[in-house]
Amino acid sequence: MRILIVTDAWAPQVNGVVRTLQAVSGALERSGHEVSLISPGRFRSLRCPTYPEIRLALAGRRRVGSMIAAMAPDAIHIATEGPLGLAARRWCLELGLSFTTAYHTQFPDYLASRTGLPASWFWSYIRWFHGPARAVLVSTPTVAEQLLRHGIERTRPWGRGVDLDCFHPEVSPHAALRSLKRPIQLYVGRVAVEKNIEAFLDAGYPGSKVVVGDGPALKALKGRYRGVSFMGSLHGAALASAYAAADVFVFPSRTDTFGLVMIEALACGTPVAAYPVAGPVDVLDSTVACMDADLGYAIGNALSRDRTVCAAYGRRFSWEASARQFEGALVPLGAGVSPDQVEGPVRMGALAGS
C-alpha cells in the first residue's frame, strides 16, 4: 500500500509526535508498505510565535494538492492540525477523498496555557478539523471518551511503542548522574509551559532533580531553579542511560494524550510518578507507577516499585503493534465516494491544479 502522511511536526523538531511518526513509518516500511511524507522541510516556513523551534509551513492547497497527486497514494493520513494539515484537508474535501486524522495533543489545553484563554474556546476548531475524517486515531480510551463528549465520534485506537533495542534494563547509567544525591528524579520532554515542569521542580521530595530536554521555557527555568541539573536534549543511547540512572521518572504533564517517555523509562526499569490524568491513567498501573494529585507523594511512593517489574511492563509496548493499528484504521481514498468524484491518480492530477 502507498501511504501518505501529512504532518506539520517533523525533524528537526523533537517531540512525541515526531518520534511516533518516525517509528511507525519505519515499521510500516519493514512490513512492505511504501510511506511518503509531506512535512515542513519541503516549504518556506515561519517560526511559530512563542515556540521558535517549530516551523509553520507556508503551504497552500494547490501546492499541497499537486504533491499529493504526484505521490498517488492509496490512503492519506493527516497527522496534525497545522498549516499543512489544513491544506491537505481542504484539498481532500474538494475532491471528495477520504482521509484519517489523529489527535496527538490536548490542543485546546495547550493553547489555553499559552494564551490564557479558556480551553473551551478552541474545541470548535477541533470539531471542525476532525469532523470530516473517516477515522480519528487516538492513543487511549480516555482521549476517545473526551473527544466523544465534544462531538467527535469516529475514533480508532492507536497505541505507542518502545525501541527495545535502545531502551532496556541492561543500559549503563549516565556518567553525569552517578554522583548525584539519591533518589534521582528525572523529567524528559519539551521544556515548555504546557508540560507543567514547575510542578515537578517545586515538589518537595528530597534528592536530586534532573531535566532532559530543550524548549522555550528552558532559560527561565534555569534561572529560577539553580539546584536542578539541566542536561539539554539527549537521544538514543544517551537518553536511555539517563532513564537507567534515575530512581524515578516524573511525568508532571496534564495535557499529553499518551506520554511516550513514560514507557521508555519503564522499559529501562525506572518507575513513574504522575498525576491521575489522561495519558498516565490509561498507560500505567499501580505495579509500576504511583499516580496522585500530590506529585511529591507520587514520587516517594513510586520509589518502592520493583525495577524488574517495570522493565517487563515496558516491553509490552511494540511499534509493530502500533503500526498494525495505524494500518487497520486507514481508508482507501475513494471509500464512500462516487466514481465521478475521483478516478484514481490521473483524476487527482488533473484536479490538483484546478
Decide: helix, strand or coil at residue 135: strand
Cα-based distances in Å from 120 to 126, 155, 156, 218, 257:
10, 20, 23, 28, 17
Q: Does domain 2-161+320-352 have CATH number 3.50.50.60?
A: no
Cell of 53: 523551534
Phi/psi zone of residue 279: left (φ > 0), alpha (ψ -120 to 50 degrees), beta? left
The Cα 205–Cα 246 span in angstroms is 14
The Cα 145–Cα 138 span in angstroms is 10
The tens-digit pLDDT sequence of the chain (354 residues) is 999 999 998 888 778 899 999 999 999 999 999 999 999 988 876 777 666 666 777 788 899 999 999 999 999 999 999 899 999 999 999 999 999 999 987 767 766 666 777 777 888 889 999 999 999 999 999 999 999 999 999 999 999 999 999 999 999 999 999 999 999 999 999 999 889 999 999 998 999 999 999 999 999 999 999 999 999 999 999 999 999 999 999 999 998 889 999 999 999 999 999 999 989 999 999 999 999 999 999 999 999 999 999 999 999 999 999 999 999 999 999 765 433 433 333 333 333 332
Parallel, antiparallel, or unpaired: how do β-strands 45-48 and 135-138 relate?
Answer: unpaired
| Single-letter code of the amino acid located at 328 | G
The Cα 154–Cα 61 span in angstroms is 25
CA proximity to 169, closest of 252, 270, 256: 270
Q: What torsion, rounded to 10 degrees, do the Cα atoms 38, 41, 46, 49 define?
A: 80
Spatial contact of 269 and 260, defined as CB atoms under 8 Å apart:
no
| DSSP secondary structure of 273-335 | EE-SSTTHHHH--TTTEEE-SSHHHHHHHHTTS-HHHHHHHHTT--HHHHHHHHHHH---TTT
Q: Where does residue 328 rank: exposed (0-12), middle (13-18), buried (19+ CB within 10 A)?
A: exposed
Q: Look up residue 234 and give its DSSP letter.
A: -
Q: Where does residue 114 rank: exposed (0-12), middle (13-18), buried (19+ CB within 10 A)?
A: middle
Buried/exposed code over 126-143 (b: 16+ C-beta within 10 A; e: otherwise): beebbeebbbbbbbbebb
The Cα 230–Cα 192 span in angstroms is 14
For the chain, domain boundaries:
2-161+320-352, 175-314
CA proximity to 258, closest of 148, 136, 137, 105: 105
Q: Look up residue 181 and give its DSSP letter.
A: P
Spatial contact of 318 and 31, defined as CB atoms under 8 Å apart:
no
Multiple choice CATH, 175-314, 3.40.50.2000, 3.90.550.10, 3.90.1150.10, 3.40.50.720: 3.40.50.2000
* Residue for grid cell 531535566: 211
Spatial contact of 253 and 245, defined as CB atoms under 8 Å apart:
no
Q: Is 175-314 in the same CATH topology as 2-161+320-352?
A: yes
The Cα 265–Cα 272 span in angstroms is 8
**Residue 236 CB neighbours (<10 A):** 10
CA proximity to 231, closest of 247, 218, 244, 220: 218
The Cα 328–Cα 30 span in angstroms is 16
